[in-house]
Amino acid sequence: MTPAAPTGSSADVPTARLPLRAGLEGLHPYGAPQLDVPVLLNVNENPYPPSDAVAADVADAVAKAARSLNRYPDRDFGELRAELAEYLRVESGITLAAEQIWAANGSNEVMLHLLQAYGGPGRAVLSFAPTYSMYPEYARDTITDWVTGRREEDFGLDAGHAVDMIAQHRPAVILLASPNNPTGTALPLETVEAILDAARTSGPTGADGEPTSAVVVVDEAYGEFRRAGTRSALTLLADNPHLAVARTMSKAFGMAGLRLGYLAADTALIDHLRVVRLPYHLSALTQAAALAALRHREELMAQIASLRSERDRLVTWLRGRGLQVADSDANFVLFGVLPDRHRVWKGLLDRGILIREVGPDGWLRVSVGTPEETAAFTTALEEVLEQ
C-alpha cells in the first residue's frame, strides 16, 4: 500500500501566510550540531553514563509513577524541592527551605520563568559578553530588550563597568553565568556583591514611581566544578532577596537527558515564578526520575573530582602546546588563538571528535571527557595543528 501524502505537501492545498512575529523571520532553532561521531566533546555533558544501579532505580521509580499517570502530577513538587535543597546543603553547606527552591525542565526553563516574571516590553535584561548564547533568546522570546556589557581580556568582569551598565540601563534582570560559558571563568564573590549592591535600587521604576531592585541571576550550571576555595553565590542568598542562583542536573550530575534545572532564591521571588509557569510543567515521570537520581547523589558527585583533575591536565597540555587557555572552573576549556578555527574544528571532526565552534573568533571550546577521550582529542589536535 502506498502511504497517503502527508497533509500540506500537495500542490493542490491552499497556501497560508503564517503571522510570524516580527524579528523571528529567517531565524533557526538554537542548538549545537548533534552528529554521530565516536568522541562527543561539544555540549559539556558528563561523559560517564549512570551506573546500572542508578539506571535501575530510575527505571523502578518511573514504573511506579506510571501506575498513576491518569492523574496530573504534584503541581508544586514539594518532595523534589526538599531533596534539591538537601543536595545543595551537602554540596555547598547552605541550608535552604524547600520553599526557596524552584525547578523546571532544565535551568533554561527556570531562567525563562524569570524573564517571564520580570522582563517584558520596555524592560531590559543585562549580561556581559562573551556569554551563554541562550540568554538573548530568553530576551527575544519575552520581548525584553537585550543589553550587553563587555568582559575583560581574560574574560573576567570589571565590577566598575558592571555597576555603570546597571546605572545606565536599569535592567529588570541581570544574567551572570559563573562559571561562564563558553569561557569557564568564575566570578569572584566580591564582584557579585558589588553587582547585588548596585542592583538593589537600580531596577525599572515600579508602578508607584519608586525604583525596584534588578533581579540578579547567578547561573551556576557548572558550579560543582569550581576550584577549591571558590565560593558559591548560594552563600549570598540570606542577605539578598533579589538574588537567584540557578543550578542544573544536566552537567556535573550527569543527567542531561532528564531535563531538570532549578534555582534557589527568596520565597517571594519563587512565588512570582509560580505565577508564570504552565500548570503541571514538571511531569510525574520527571519528578520520579529526578528523586531517584538524587538518592544516588554521592555516587554521581564522586566523578566531579576526577573530571576536575582531568580538566586541569587538559589545560596544562594545551598551554604546553603553546596555546592560550582561559582559566576554567567548569568542565570545559576555551582555547585559542587559532588563525582558522573552522579548519581545526573540521580537522577534529574528520578524526571522529566533535568539539564546539563557539566564543570569540579564533577560539574553540572542548568539553572534558574521559581520559581516553582526552587522549583521542590531544592526539588529533596535534595532527591538525601540524598540517
Ligand X SMILES: *Cc1c(COP(=O)(O)O)cnc(C)c1O
Question: Which H or E run includes 117?
Answer: helix 107-118
- Is position 184 an interface residue for ligand X (rule: CB under 6 A)? no
- Is position 178 an interface residue for ligand X (rule: CB under 6 A)? no
Q: How many residues does the chain have?
A: 387
Nearer to ligand X, 30 or 72 (CB): 30
Can you list the alpha helix ranges (DSSP code H) found in 188-243? Answer: 189-199
Residue 135 CB partners (closer than 8 Å, separation 6+): 111, 125, 127, 146, 175
- Is position 185 an interface residue for ligand X (rule: CB under 6 A)? no
Question: Which H or E run includes 377?
Answer: helix 371-386
CA-based nearest residue to 186, from 301, 308, 40: 308
- Is position 45 an interface residue for ligand X (rule: CB under 6 A)? no
- Is position 248 an interface residue for ligand X (rule: CB under 6 A)? yes
- Is position 127 an interface residue for ligand X (rule: CB under 6 A)? no
Query: What's the min distance (Å) between Cβ of 13 and ligand X?
Result: 37
Residue 56 CB partners (closer than 8 Å, separation 6+): none
Among positions 61, 177, 307, 368, the unique one binding ligand X when judged by CB under 6 A: 177
Among positions 42, 46, 92, 108, the unique one binding ligand X when judged by CB under 6 A: 108
Count of residues near ligand X by CB under 6 A: 14
The residue nearest ligand X at its CB is 106
Cell of 189: 564573590
**What's the CA gap between 339 and 348, in Å, rounded?**
16
- Is position 87 an interface residue for ligand X (rule: CB under 6 A)? no
Q: DSSP 3-state assignment of 101?
A: strand
- Is position 225 an interface residue for ligand X (rule: CB under 6 A)? no
- Is position 219 an interface residue for ligand X (rule: CB under 6 A)? yes
Query: Between 297-320 and 52-66, two packed helices, what is the crossing angle to 10 degrees?
Result: 130
Query: What's the min distance (Å) between Cβ of 106 and ligand X?
Result: 3
Among positions 41, 126, 216, 221, the unique one binding ligand X when judged by CB under 6 A: 221
Cell of 64: 511506579
- Part of the chain binding ligand X (CB under 6 A), chosen from 34-42, 247-255, 292-300, 337-345: 247-255
Cβ distance 357 to 342 under 8 Å?
yes
Nearer to ligand X, 256 or 385 (CB): 256
Contact residues toward ligand X (CB under 6 A) are 44, 106-108, 132, 177, 181, 219, 221, 248, 250-251, 256, 261
